[in-house]
Amino acid sequence: MIKGKSVVITGSTSGIGLGMARKFAAAGAKVMLNGFGDAHEIETIRYEMAEEFGVDVAYSAADVTKPDEIETMLQAANRDHGGVDILVNNAGVQHTAKIQDFPPEKWDLVIATNLSAAFHATRLVLPQMLERNWGRIINTASAHGLVASVEKAAYVAAKHGVVGLTKVVALETAKTGVTCNAICPGWVLTPLVMQQIEKRAEENGTTVAEEKEKLLLEKQPSGEFVTVEQLGDLALFLSSEAAAQIRGQAIAMDGGWTAQ
* Three-state SS at 74: helix
Distances (CA, A) of 75 to 43, 84, 156, 204, 235: 20, 9, 31, 47, 23
Q: Do residues 179 and 173 make contact, with C-beta atoms less than 8 angstroms apart? A: yes
Question: First vs last Cα of the chain: how many Å apart?
Answer: 36
* 8 Å CB contact between 113 and 91: yes
Contact 173, 240 (CB under 8 A): no
Query: Annotated catalytic, 155?
Result: yes
Measured CA to CA in angstroms, residue 12 lies from 21, 97, 177, 224 at distances of 7, 26, 26, 23
Provide CB contacts within 8 A for 203, sequence distance 6+.
none
State the catalytic residue, choosing from 24, 107, 155, 225.
155
Cα dihedral 68, 182, 199, 259, rounded to 10, equals 160
Return the active site residues. 155
